[in-house]
Chains A and B, each alone.
Chain A
Amino acid sequence: MPELRELYQEVILEHSKAPRNYRQPATVNQKAEGFNPLCGDRFMVYLDVEGDEIRDIGFQGSGCAISKASASMMTQAVKGKSREEVRKLFETFHKLVTTGETNGNRDDLGKLAVFSGVSEFPVRVKCATLAWHTLQAALEGKQDTISTE
């Protein structure tokens, strides 16, 4: 089953078992909750934002391997980036997981490119994007719980 290995890449499985930045940063000035009730996936994303820069980011919660690995790798990818850089990165990531394409921006994704297999599993797109939508909400200061279902 090549497709299944495309989805559950080693890097993804490894991050789902040992998620990075799985904590609340010492300073949290923005946060948001993501919850997909049908799956039961639920994550909090915590930010320490100064000016335009994400100084620190952490997350906590539970979910499937795809959603957890995506959250974990997202925190690594966005730390130190500006809001605009995060917006662009999410745009490229979203394109990747929904279509498998990146419009030539694959290099920008770095390690996040391992999520390309998600595009073959349309019902799992909501898993891969939950943490990202939650991050967007935290950056925009939205209070409502975010869902991608």
Chain B
Amino acid sequence: MTTAAKLPQAEQASTSRSARIDIDKIRRDFPILARDVRGKKLVYLDNAATSQKPRAVIERIVKYYEQENANIHRGVHFLSELATREHDCAREAVKEFVNAGSTREIIFVRGTTEAINLVAQTYGRANVGAGDEVLITAMEHHSNIVPWQILCEEKGAQLRVAPINDDGELLVGELHKLISPRTKIIALAHVSNALGTVNPVKKIIDCAHSKNIPVLIDGAQAVPHMKVDVQELGADFYTFSSHKMFGPMGIGVLYGKAELLEAMPPYQGGGDMISSVTFEKTTYNKLPFKFEAGTPDVAGAIGLGAAIEYLNQIGMDKIEKYEHELLAYAIEQVSSIPGVRLIGTAKAKTGVLSFIIEGVHPHDVGTILDQEGIAIRTGHHCAQPIMDRFGIPATARASFAFYNRKDEVDALAAGIRRVQEVFN
């Protein structure tokens, strides 16, 4: 890695004095956090939608385009070899980050959405037939619902949905009851984007495997906030997006067990995914390239590699611990305001705070907070079935990252009081 020389210094800075992260230093790493919005200091609390990017990532992408840009896997020239090598390094970094067994199991895609569509359209089409069942949960993002609906419609299969309770926790017993001999795949979120609920995915995977059913885990909201070990979890497929983990937009990862990926038909046809082509017969390339047709987002992959390096320097364990404390503080501050109701009160949660203010539509909450420079998400968060489950049209959602501070939570709480002033 090109910035490896900086590592000991950064580590020293972030670990000095205590095992805590140095939040002020971290904030200086993110240029956008210094800007003003509508004359106020930006308070960015929309991290579940997308995260901000550290300078290390931005500069790495600039360096790629200024010094290294070339197409990969085809040129014999210097730059092509360099770009190919850096692209390979990024894949290696991803593999290490989630502890995959091999880089053959790391497929670069556009994001979590494409990763799930890939599995539904390849593994799904090859293995799900008429009368079979696909099992998901009531807290899935639309990207982990619609690809399966498309598959089920095409094949005459059934989509089964495991319910959640009033705290937004998955009813694991009910999910287990929904597993039948016709269940061909289970797909669920590691962490809910709308509620922050952390699902006991290892337990579910173990149960599914005892019945020989593979499991896809949507890890988009988990990977940026906790240490994920795909081998320890035993996940058959695990998907995540770069842009939610401080890397660039437009790239993401499908992890799949090699034996499953080997047996799957390809997703898209084109260059790079083949080893030989004639008009009579095409032989597909080996993993992971079989699933990576066309020129990939090389800069995106390299940028993701830089984001992973940055996260490693801080340490995912420290990030998880810090965010946990910040969430506890936010829950305390926001839930103590009369007239505010939290949606999603699971015991195991990441830094997502969905809430509604009595008598005020979330959209109005969003507009008023925006005037204070506070960026939150309002709406259904691409999870309409969750809104239906709680009987609400939408929520306001504040979501945290490790660069957020307690004073930003205070600003949120003050903003909520301001909303109530305007409306009362």
Contact = CB atoms under 8 A, between A and B. Distances in A.
Contacts of A17: 359
A121 B387 contact: no
B96 interface: no
A41 interface: yes
B379 interface: yes
If over half of B's interface residues share one DSSP class (helix, strand or loop), that class is named, otherwise mixed; here it is helix
Given A38-B379, A40-B387, A13 B367 contact: no
A95 to B, nearest CB: 22
Nearest to A124: B367
Interface string B357-392: 001111110011001000000111000100100000
A66 B362 CA distance: 12
A104 interface: no
Nearest to B423: A13
Nearest to B380: A40
Contacts of B360: 65
Contact of B367 (A38, A42, A121): A121
Interface stretch (A3-11, A26-34, A131-139): A3-11
Identify the interface centre among B363, B387, B394: most chain A CB within 10 Å of its CB.
B363
Interface residues of B, number: 18
B380 A65 contact: no
A38 B393 CA distance: 10
B393 A7 contact: no
A3 to B, nearest CB: 7
B5 interface: no
Contact of A64 (B364, B371, B384, B422): B364
A66 B368 CA distance: 13
Contacts of B393: 39-42, 62-63
Interface of B: 359-364, 367-368, 371, 378-380, 384, 387, 393-394, 422-423
8 contacts: A3-B371, A38-B379, A38-B380, A39-B379, A40-B362, A41-B363, A42-B393, A65-B361
